[in-house]
Amino acid sequence: MAAEIQGRMRRRRAKRAPISQINVTPFVDVMLVLLVIFMITAPLLTAGVQVNLPEAGAKPLKGTDEPLAVTIDKVGKLYIQESEVTLEELGPKLQAITERKPETRIFVRGDRDIAYGQVMAVMSAINKAGFTNVALVTVIPKEGASTDDAPQ
């Protein structure tokens, strides 16, 4: 009787051959989920206020801390990160955000079409608030492009 059972087991095993195909369905599912996640998060990684930055050939500044971004858009509205503020509120709000640490790095992002005086007024307000580590943000020019093509 034991021999009969073993014979049946061998026949069952012989009928089922090992599957030699790779099941790619789980792989495709994971890749589609990752694609959706990256499509959603990629736009969030950029700064919230869209500005047309001027070009300059200066080298990027190196630093370990995360700088605050002060942005002036093309219509002259002023933002700290993504929150709109007035020029009068700029200094006190920066002091409150940084907990009165004057060594905090602040990046000023100004649209290329706004007046130079507006950028200087913002930098003056930041300086009056006690911040000395202020930098202007620009775009690195493309190869062969001239930096002299400023709007008239």
Tens of pLDDT, residue by residue over 109-133, are 888 888 888 999 999 999 999 988 8
| 15 within some domain | yes
Domain count of the chain? 1
Report the mean per-residue pLDDT for the chain: 79
CB atoms within 10 A of CB 66: 8
pTM score, whole prediction? 0.55
Which value, to the nearest 10 degrees, does the dihedral of the CA atoms of residues 42, 48, 51, 52 take? Answer: -10
In a domain, 51, yes or no: no
100 domain-assigned: no
Tally of CB atoms within 10 A around 13 = 9
- Residue 47: pLDDT above 70? no
For residue 103, being part of any structural domain is answered with: no
More confident residue, 1 or 34: 34
Res 142: pLDDT: 75
Listed residue (67, 146, 149, 147) closest to 108, CA to CA: 67
Is residue 52 a part of any domain in this protein? no
State the pLDDT at residue 59: 67
Q: Which residue has the higher pLDDT, 63 or 44?
A: 44
Banded pLDDT at 150 (limits 50, 70, 90): very low
**Is 40 part of any domain?**
yes
At 64 the pLDDT is 58
Q: Is residue 144 part of a domain?
A: no
Q: Between 151 and 46, whose confidence is greater?
A: 46
* pLDDT for the residue numbered 88: 92
3-state DSSP assignment of residue 49: coil
* Residue at 129 is within a domain: no
